[in-house]
Structure 1
Amino acid sequence: MRTRRGISYPKVNNICCEKRREGNENMIHSRKRFKPSSGTPVVTLSGQCDFLDTLPDDIVLFILAKLGATAGCPSDFVSVLSTCKRLNALGVHSLVLSKASPKAFAFKSENWSESAHRFLKQCSDAGNVEACYTLGMIRFYCLQNRGSGASLMAKAAINSHAPALYALAVIQFNGSGGSKTDKDLRAGVALCARAAFLGHIDALRELGHCLQEGYGVRQNIVEGPAVFGSSQRP
């Protein structure tokens, strides 16, 4: 439509098309997750900012390590790893897994799976002493992998892990995983004494029996009952 001065009004259809085109472009852009530039928070689908992406890796690792160390069950920690790719990658860092609490990988037997086995192995490979002991016990007694299980328990025992020391002592006493001739009573007593020194009650009680009966060690009818009695005290 033209005016007297020769100026044309834009057609109504053109205006509607342009507005529709602009609206579609805005809708497309709003669906995209913008990659952050340096120090710029990410825009989420709801239009809010994701400030997690502005944090450096060392701070995120520190937070995840604290979370893993205080987790009350596996889902408390594993559910966070499934939040995004970045948390999933940083969550399995050795600095995080080495400090994970025993409850973070305390999988129940009905929930045991290959992924649980893999996660527990990642923790043990990261140097988590409790994970080494737990995976060692599972492999030795449940999966019948004696060599690997004993090796993992020994790895924990080297780091003065009392339950691992006592578990190895029981293996030496019983000759578990081998024949009766594979028993090493002296080694069992030595491991038991070390675990008892670290405060393991069952090891202290077993050491008392060994001293009293002369089992793997020279009999001492005075020290034996005394050691056994100390294990009964609260």
Structure 2
Amino acid sequence: MPPLSLKPAKTIAKCRRKNYAFKNVPKELLTEILARVGSSSLTDLVNAKVSCKEFLEAASEDYVFEHVKMDSIPLFPWRDEHYGLSSFLARCTESGNPEALFRQGMMDYFFNWQNDSGLKFLERAASKGHPAATYVYGIILVRSVGHELRNKGVKLLTDLKRSTSSLGITECRKKAYSILQPTWGRSYMIEIGPAESEVYWKKKKTCSDCKSKALRNPTQTINRWIPDTDFQDDPCSCDSCLWDLEAIKFCMMQRTGRYTLTES
């Protein structure tokens, strides 16, 4: 696959000529059009910019950078050369692009040791409806000491599960893992060891909310989470215990690259 370029195709550049078709079209409408083009294909957006002067000017608006699709941009653009990826990513982040905010939040929190900055970026991305950012931000809040922050994290994750289904949680987890999996420079959100896992299982067995759910689902068996590369809901767990366990497994994933957790 050839390297991604933010420059237009040569054939289009050579054919560039004066075009007055959009001269009288409101700039706001052109910006909306390009934002929709960019949300589908970055390549199409780059090519559209050279079709006429009006598109080129409209494409410089923050609104376009906020909505541009970033799937073709590598997570770690080691070789920038003359393609301008670094400045492009910075502009997307400044413009509030959810994917750019998510990536910057992950890098700051887990690699650059800038927790406050990382949390702010993740929170902004989550507020814009980015599923993976909501997942990671929620997990961090669940691990917080403060009762209010923890409850906020539980609510965020529960709402995310309801809106995206269990498959959606699995994809969010994989998205986070794709960024955290490199062994170089890996940072840990919190150390999780056998002692903490044992505390969880003791809490789980004495949780009144979990017992109530188990009584309402007598035909269900308690999910022991062995093994679970995919997210599995547990009809016998309350939301608090469900996300406690997911947070523990998320932290284990950072250290070992695996999700499996067995009951002690």
Residue in 2 that maps onto 1:220: 209
> CA 1:171/1:48 → structure 2, altered by over 3 Å: closer, same or farther?
closer
SS of residue paired to 1:228: coil
Give the counterpart letter for 1:97 in structure 2.
F
- Does the aligned pair in 1 maintain the 2:16–2:50 contact within 8 Å? no
CA displacement, residues 154-204 of structure 1 (integer Å, 9 cap, x when unaligned): 122334544323212333455xxxxxxxx427434541332222225349x
Residue in 2 that maps onto 1:184: 145
Residue in 2 that maps onto 1:194: 156
* Alignment RMSD: 4.4
Unaligned runs of 5+ in 2: 1-13, 174-196, 215-221, 224-231, 236-241, 243-264
1:152 to 121, 127, 133: 121
Question: Given the two structures, how large is their TM-score scaled by the length of structure 2?
Answer: 0.48
CA displacement, residues 26-53 of structure 1 (integer Å, 9 cap, x when unaligned): xxxxxxxxxxxxxxxxxxx989652356
Following superposition, the deviation at residue 148 of structure 1 comes to: 1.7
Give the counterpart letter for 2:61 in structure 1.
H
Compare relative contact order (CA 8 Å, sep 6+) and give the higher one, 1 or 2.
2
1:107 to 62, 67, 74: 74
Following superposition, the deviation at residue 65 of structure 1 comes to: 1.2
Unaligned runs of 5+ in 1: 1-44, 175-182
Correspondence 1:93 to 2:80: no
Give the counterpart letter for 1:64 in structure 2.
L
> CA 1:110/1:157 → structure 2, altered by over 3 Å: closer, same or farther?
closer
- Does the aligned pair in 2 maintain the 1:212–1:219 contact within 8 Å? no
> CA 1:213/1:133 → structure 2, altered by over 3 Å: closer, same or farther?
farther
- Does the aligned pair in 1 maintain the 2:19–2:52 contact within 8 Å? no
Residues in 2 aligned to 1:94 and 1:126: alpha-carbon distance in whole angstroms:
5
Give the counterpart letter for 1:95 in structure 2.
Y
Residue in 2 that maps onto 1:21: none
> CA 1:89/1:220 → structure 2, altered by over 3 Å: closer, same or farther?
same
SS of residue paired to 2:91: helix
Give the counterpart letter for 2:134 in structure 1.
L
Residue in 1 that maps onto 2:250: none
- Does the aligned pair in 2 maintain the 1:212–1:221 contact within 8 Å? no
- Does the aligned pair in 2 maintain the 1:211–1:218 contact within 8 Å? no
Residue in 2 that maps onto 1:229: 234
Q: Which has the higher helix share?
A: 1
SS of residue paired to 1:103: coil
Residue in 2 that maps onto 1:167: 136
SS of residue paired to 1:221: helix
Q: Which has the larger radius of gyration?
A: 1
Alignment of 1:1-234 (within 5 A): 50-52=19-21, 54-56=23-25, 57-71=27-41, 74-81=42-49, 87-103=55-71, 106-110=73-77, 113=80, 115-172=84-141, 183-184=144-145, 186=147, 187-188=149-150, 190-199=152-161, 201=166, 202=169, 214=203, 218=207, 220-222=209-211, 223=213, 225=222, 228-229=233-234
